[in-house]
Amino acid sequence: MTGLGELLDEIVVDIDAVLLFSQDASTYERFENGDYPLIVVATENAVGAEQFVSLPLEFTDVTGRIRFGLEGALKQELVAEGDEVVCLTQAFDDAEIDTIVRIRADEFTQTGVYDLFVNSRPDAGVVRDVIEVAIDLGKKGQKGKPVGALFVVGDAGKVMNKSRPLSYNPFEKSHVHVGDPIVNVMLKEFSRLDGAFVISDGGKIVSAYRYLEPAAEGVDIPKGLGARHMAAGAITRDTNAIAIVLSESDGMVRAFKAGEIVLEIDPEEY
């Protein structure tokens, strides 16, 4: 145990802050009066922490979760570049704290994933709801078969001006919002056909079956990704919208902002 104890001591020596990925009160109480500034990263501030980063999704991937927490802490100036931070989190379901990671606050290249939720034009809750719809579609598919979909969220007026209809718009006179109980069934059905869904800043589904027309020149996406991803990159480069793509080929959900991929999620691991 001597070697293990020395290793644990080395992990926490000379650190600048602790990021606690938990909203459990008893866990918080164990660390709130420690020797280091404590920053809670969770879906809600149930413990009333003074320093808090709101986690909009239950990131199942530990790296993605820590990356988001660090970007949020840096953006809120709760930590500074070069700070040494210990992250206390969970790697396994139904566990409390089972993972300790020491990392420099600027270890990751800033991806924009925090800005995707906090500083985007559409409401953060709408972004979360659309991503969760895409994840649900990715898990269930259409009649057991993989399905692809493209959701353009925010700046709907400009997006509509930079696109054209491929068919009738089933949402033209409706007031359906992402997050409504019936919306998953409707989107699953309409996702069988080509075109993008256009969603307002507040979550109203403005249109389906839209062909996005911005030129793709200059949009750089990884090899192997197709027309939906290229269209997502182009429309988010030319407007203040973000785009969520469910890939039919590899089943991944990807979020675009300002022409760049800022988030990737595997629905089967979510």
Percent of the chain with pLDDT over 70: 96
Q: What is the pLDDT confidence band of residue 53, given thresholds at 50, 70 and 90?
A: very high
pLDDT digits (tens, 9 = 90+) for 30-40: 988 888 999 99
pLDDT digits (tens, 9 = 90+) for 140-149: 765 667 788 9
Distances (CA, A) of 19 to 42, 65, 73, 157: 10, 11, 9, 40
Determine the straight-line distance between the first and last CA of the chain, rounded to whole angstroms. Answer: 36
Superfamily name with CATH number, domain 117-269: DNA integrity scanning protein, DisA, N-terminal domain (3.40.1700.10)
pLDDT digits (tens, 9 = 90+) for 174-185: 888 888 877 777
Stronger pLDDT, 145 or 53, i.e. the higher one: 53
Domain boundaries, the chain: 2-110, 117-269
pTM (2 d.p.) = 0.78
**Contact 18/37 with Cβ under 8 angstroms?**
yes
- Site of tokens 């420690």: 34
Q: Phi and psi at residue 244, in whole multiples of 5°? A: -115, 125
What are the helix (H) ranges across 141-197?
Answer: 156-161, 183-190
Q: What is the pLDDT confidence band of residue 70, given thresholds at 50, 70 and 90?
A: very high
**Contact 141/255 with Cβ under 8 angstroms?**
no
CATH number corresponding to 2-110 = 3.40.1380.20
What are the helix (H) ranges across the chain?
Answer: 2-12, 25-31, 62-75, 113-118, 124-140, 156-161, 183-190, 227-238
- Quote the pLDDT of residue 144: 65
